Structure 1
Amino acid sequence: GLQIEAAAEYYLDDAFYDELAKTHILSVSNQYILFESSYMSRPIQMEEMIFAIGEAGYKPMLAHPERYRYIKDPQKEYARLKELGVFFQVNLNSFGGHYGKGAKRLAHFLNEAGMIDFLGSDTHHNRQVEMLSDVFCLDVYHDIFKRNMIKNDMLL
């Protein structure tokens, strides 16, 4: 049988602390809080919000880290997030260029650095599903599993 669980991406903004304080929060496998932010600007209290996720008993998981345009120094900025205990969930379609050259470049950076923890699809339309099947044929798809400890199977 197929088991489906509901989860959500939480947006790091002023309302985030209120969401985190709710008794019923949509986490991934009852252990990860999947979060995102603006693509253009880093949240002012990002580190404090990541700390709050841990304080609430969850592990922070950043959705599509390759798509944030405010990442200017990937080595330094991604390393800092890792120091804070953040897990990275990269969208597979980024490797196919679906989200632009910048996201593709950062996805490859994360792959080569061995920083990818989870793979996601973030598919909302049939076209994205079709593009996803093309990514499965790319050499980089197989390379991801050689360079990274992908934890998707631990969510089952």
Structure 2
Amino acid sequence: MFNFFSKKNKITDISWLGVDIHSHILPGIDDGSPDLATSLRFVKSLQELGFDQLIATPHIYQELYPNTMETILRARDLLKQEMDTANIALKLGAGAEYMVDQDFKMDGTLCTLDQKHLLIEMSYLNESPNISQTIFDLEIKGFQPILAHPERYTFYFKDKSRLKRFKEKGCLLQLNLLSVLGYYGKEVKQLADALLKEKMYDLTGTDLHHDKHLTTLTEAIHSGKLYDLIGFYEFKNQELFGSISV
């Protein structure tokens, strides 16, 4: 049984969110989990926190992580086999987190989260020159882009008007859970708080890469702090992805 309430009526699990749409838990294919044993441990920990569905999103970044549908599904299947052996009844899906740069192409098969939604990112230091056109082109092709962790892009710290225009174009925005905890710094938290206040976010995710991420997240959930900060917010994780077959 999950510990839903502490003595002070704190909500100390994350079943209120249920679906994690952004993580790097597949073994050995990007800068996340290095091996199968670590991946299995991450999955067990996320289940214990209250997640019942995970959508892994390894990087596709040709310069560093030239993943393909084949490499991602192979890693997903290896992890799923280990989960079955360990009797872990948790849904495990896979998509990708695409770097929008000069190498990003829309030809071939794209690794979506659910045949429609595509997770994209940029460099933290400079906005991709073609980001607006990429969002438009994806939508023309029938995809709905999700911009990962907009609060972490330094070029939006003082001017978030571009993010509003992306929203107007139909792009969804995804918050990193650690951002509201101040994990990435004061300015990231300030922008995250501002975007939450203006109801700009549609989705959220762990963006889990390693044990330090997991430890920080676990402490915030078990203390009730994370729910106090954003448990009220109407994220669409369950609405958009809770019923997909994985």
Q: Same fold (TM over 0.5)?
A: yes
Pairwise mapping of residues 111-126 of structure 1 onto structure 2 (< 5 A)? Answer: 111-126=196-211
Map 1:62-77 → 2, pairs under 5 A: 62-71=147-156, 72-74=158-160, 76-77=161-162
Q: Which residue of 1 aligns with 2:227?
A: 141
Quote the Cα distance in structure 2 between the aligned partners of 1:101 and 1:90: 15
**One-letter code aligned to 2:142:** G
Gaps of 5+ in 1: none
Could you say which structure has the higher helix fraction?
1
Alignment counterpart, residue 113 of structure 2, candidates 20, 28, 41: 28
Instruction: Please list the CA deviations of residues 74-123 of structure 1 after superposition, one character each: whole Å capped at 9, or x if unmatched.
Output: 2x222111111110111000111111111111111111111111111011
Instruction: Give me the whole-angstrom Cα distance separating, in 2, the residues matched to 1:29 and 1:101.
Output: 34
Match of 1:3 in 2: 91
Q: Give the match for residue 99 of structure 1.
A: 184
| Residue type of the alignment partner of 2:241 | L
TM-score by length of 1: 0.89
Q: How far did 1:144 drift?
A: 2.8
Change in CA separation of 1:143 and 1:5 when aligned onto 2, cut-off 3 Å: same
Identity across matched positions, percent: 34
Deviation at 1:145, TM superposition (A): 4.3
Unaligned runs of 5+ in 2: 1-88
Alignment match, 1:54: 139
Runs of 4+ deviating beyond 6 Å: none
What residue number does 2:10 align with?
A: none
8 Å CA contact 1:7, 1:26 repeated in 2: yes
Q: How many residues in Structure 1 have an aligned counterpart in Structure 2? A: 150
Q: Secondary structure at the match of 2:170?
A: coil
1:38 aligned onto 2:105: no
Indicate if the aligned counterparts of 1:95 and 1:135 stay in contact, CA closer than 8 A: no
Corresponding residue for residue 155 of structure 1: 241
Shift of 1:56: 1.8
SS of the residue corresponding to residue 35 of structure 1 reads: strand
Q: CA shift at 1:55, angstroms?
A: 1.4
Residue 148 of structure 2 contacts residue 175 of structure 2 at CA under 8 Å; is this kept in 1? Answer: yes
1:87 aligns with 2:175: no
